[in-house]
Structure 1
């Protein structure tokens, strides 16, 4: 069968590779296909596969242009499914699927999840769904009124952001002005992804951050699969530094029940869904909703624990097949990301000492030697790599992964001012 992938993400190239291995044809449409060649060791072989067709289109972020392009692809070689692993392109994939009459998330549901202000507004009066106090800012000129409404401390974020990019904890007016000055320089997120002007100002909510991974099947049934815990860096930014996929959290029943209300309230009616919650003293509070499979290393953790590859199940679902569901198993897998303490040129990453540690599963560096690296400071895009460890339970897996970070060798050349 023929699947169209609207953009991807570096780890998602594994899904394309698996689909090709099963004999499917894959057309990847991207504004910058070389991005994946530089970010994924699997991309080169996937691109070279006879059943893989890569289309470079600088107009891929224009929905009208994308729909027309896929219609042309469909006319030449019938398309049986459309999907994406990219947060930036969930609305695009939904729009193309609708245009071709193929399975997909409703465009309205995709928009409600993709734009954080729409999530807040759509669920504002939904019984049983707690949200932070918030103000929607359509123009930067409204920001001061929004701050007065919500108050300091608060969190400001772009409505269409992802990977914690440009999400900041603010405590005073000077920090706000510096944030707005920096954000004004950001017209796009790269690869042709333009930024909308909408912002959210939200009450700062304290508590553990977790996500519920779920899937809405073709008949509309929502299945809650498991919970992913999150380890975050300190203020003022919110960088994800670790994740564990498991079942058995003490608030699992309440989280799963709220997750069903959130999905229904947003009109999310198809596909894998990643929904984040703060666990406060008063119970779960909705953080945000993503109308796609969870990103980063979590799909790999799901496969290790449950034996089912969620990347491939995303494709199977889009093709109209009944997917296998990646529920957590008895073995618990956890991952930790790491970065550089300084900006410079990467010389080497050495994982040799990790391989003899109990529970070691794998480790991966995201940058080649000789490439510039940023200081781990602002967002998930500052990651240098990850490690994955397993354990009999969450505590054991956590402890092993945390201890392993001290055994990674990172060599960075730093320019010294004279």
Structure 2
């Protein structure tokens, strides 16, 4: 009998190994196609098959998948990467070419263009912050004047809060716009900039598979003007009405953007108007989210996604109800990461994971986005207060230090 393979387009430093192991548990042979397989340590450490190919070249990927099909039965195909949406759109095209279950690539592309996404959501009556599209400083300043400072200024494409900043003054507008347009960054599909009203309120995210709401988490950002996540908690402490309203708007977003297949997540701020949509992402989030969902609800989101991709029945039924939370380790300064000791924190009851993303003796240069995060701690218990206390105690027990870079001339 021909062995069944699961093709993974690119990898992921935090959740890629979860996919590899879940595929193996399902009796599949995972094969990763990547422009640079060496960037994913688990491909070397765990030994799963990986092939180097230009994942930005659809024809090259079709050729490589056809080569794989000569030796294996391709049961399914999925992927992730950075930026996640670009890889996921490619996944959709490959699935369509090989007649496999997969996301609608046109729907994914519409989400990648954040201005078009905003227009489609607005047409569907989805509550959102005021927004304008700009291409130069004059248009940015004009948009900010119409909306009213402070405003959020960001590229019209991208992920991980890259290039996203709160601008409170005209000088900050000019500084950040110059940064976005200086030619040193590649923003898709063009140098377009979104200027948005700063929606103030608690941050929530809903996580979906198909049209089902899996869970809603509460999120906390670090210090402004950047938007770097510091904390996730599943489930969010919401009233019945608050949960219902977020779930309702989430489903309306999926319908407006034609995202009825596969995983997605919707980011909200709860304002005086209720939940307003910040962004819809047509993919499974990386990082700690799959682990937190499994700890909180007993739902294996990765396995469910793979089963969906190979056309098998998937199960999102909850088996328990706990509170799971993650604290992200974000440096408060640039410098050299000297040491990191987490043994006492990792040994605490209720702590399920302490992970460092970088090695000691690594230079730390903050960028004001998701790349600033150097690690995380995850804790779980039967109640929110206990989980919060465990998590804080664990973070306090971690011993890490950063020596600032020497100042020239001193």
TM-score (normalizing by structure 1): 0.88
Equivalence for 1:109 = 107
For 1:387, which of 354, 377, 390 is the aligned residue?
377
Q: Which residue of 2 aligns with 1:200?
A: 194
| 8 Å contact from structure 1 (residues 146, 201) kept in 2 | yes
Matches of 2:388 and 2:137, distance apart in 1: 41
* Runs of 4+ that moved beyond 4 A: 138-141, 185-189
Is 1:400 aligned to 2:390, yes or no? yes
Give, in whole Å, the separation in 1 of the partners of 2:173 and 2:12: 31
Q: Tell me: CA distance 1:254–1:410, structure 2 relative to 1, closer, same or farther (3 Å).
A: same
Superposition map of 1:77-156 within 5 A: 77-86=72-81, 87-88=84-85, 89-127=87-125, 129-137=126-134, 142-156=139-153
Q: What secondary structure sits across from 1:124 in the alignment?
A: helix
Residue 164 (str. 1) matches residue 197 (str. 2): no
Partner SS, residue 123 of structure 2: coil
Determine helix, strand or coil for the equivalent of 1:83. Answer: strand
For 2:276, which of 260, 263, 285 is the aligned residue?
A: 285
> In the superposition, relative to structure 1, how do residues 241 and 61 fare at CA in structure 2: closer, same or farther (>3 Å)?
same
State the Cα deviation string for residues 276-296 of structure 1 (Å, max 9, x = none).
Answer: 111112210001011111221
Q: Do the aligned partners of residues 35 and 326 (structure 1) sit closer, same or farther apart at CA in structure 2, a change above 3 Å counting?
A: farther
SS of residue matched to 2:88 = helix
After TM superposition, give the deviation of residue 195 of structure 1 in Å: 6.2
Deviation for aligned residue 1:379: 1.2
| One of 151, 170, 187 as aligned partner of 1:173 | 170
| 1:72–1:177 Cα change, 3 Å | farther
> Are the counterparts in 1 of residues 201 and 269 from structure 2 also a CA contact under 8 Å?
yes
Counterpart contact for 1:3–1:26, Cα < 8 Å: yes
Bigger shift: 98-107 or 303-312? 303-312
CA distance in 2 between partners of 1:136 and 1:392 (Å): 45
User: How far is 1:97 from its partner?
Assistant: 1.2
Q: What is the aligned-residue RMSD (CA, Å)?
A: 2.3
Q: Counterparts of 1:261-272 in structure 2 under 5 Å?
A: 261-272=252-263
Does the 8 Å contact 1:306/1:327 carry over to 2? yes
Once residues 398 and 19 of structure 2 are traced to their aligned partners in structure 1, the CA distance between those partners, rounded to angstroms, is 28
| Alpha-carbon shift at residue 91 of structure 1 (Å) | 1.2
Deviations 1:136-172 (A, max 9, x none): 2356664333333323211011122111111100112
Larger CA deviation: 292-301 vs 71-80:
71-80
Secondary structure of 2:234's aligned partner: strand
**Contact 2:140–2:177 (8 Å) recurs in 1:** no
Q: 1:94-149 CA deviation, whole Å, 9 max, x = no partner?
A: 1211122211111222122222112101111213x201111123566643333333
Q: CA deviation at 1:209?
A: 0.8
**Structure 2: runs of 5 or more not aligned:** none
**2:45 aligned partner:** 45
Unaligned runs of at least 5 residues, structure 1: 217-221
Change (3 A) 1:73 1:166: same
Instruction: Answer whether contact 2:181 2:191 (CA < 8 A) is retained.
Output: no
- Secondary structure (helix, strand or coil) at the match of 1:411 reads strand
Count of residues paired in the alignment: 399
Say whether 1:3 aligns with 2:6: yes
Aligned residue number for residue 245 of structure 1: 234
Paired position in structure 1 for 2:362: 371
Per-residue deviation, 1:43:
3.4
Secondary structure, aligned partner of 2:65: helix
**Residues 415 and 277 (structure 1), Cα distance of their counterparts in 2 relative to 1, 3 Å cut:** closer
* Contact 1:299–1:310 (Cα < 8 Å) also in 2: yes
Distance 1:336 1:186, change over 3 A: farther
In the TM superposition, what whole-angstrom CA distance separates every residue of 1:321-352 from its partner, at most 9, and x where no partner exists? 11221648322110100122322222321112
Matching residue within 213, 234, 242 for 1:224: 213
Could you list the per-position Cα deviations for residues 229-263 of structure 1 after superposition, in whole angstroms to 9, with x for gaps in the alignment? Answer: 10111210010011112266221111111111110
Looking at structure 2, the residues matched to 185 and 227 of structure 1 have their Cα atoms a distance apart, in angstroms, of: 38
Partners of 1:329 and 1:278 lie apart in 2 by 27
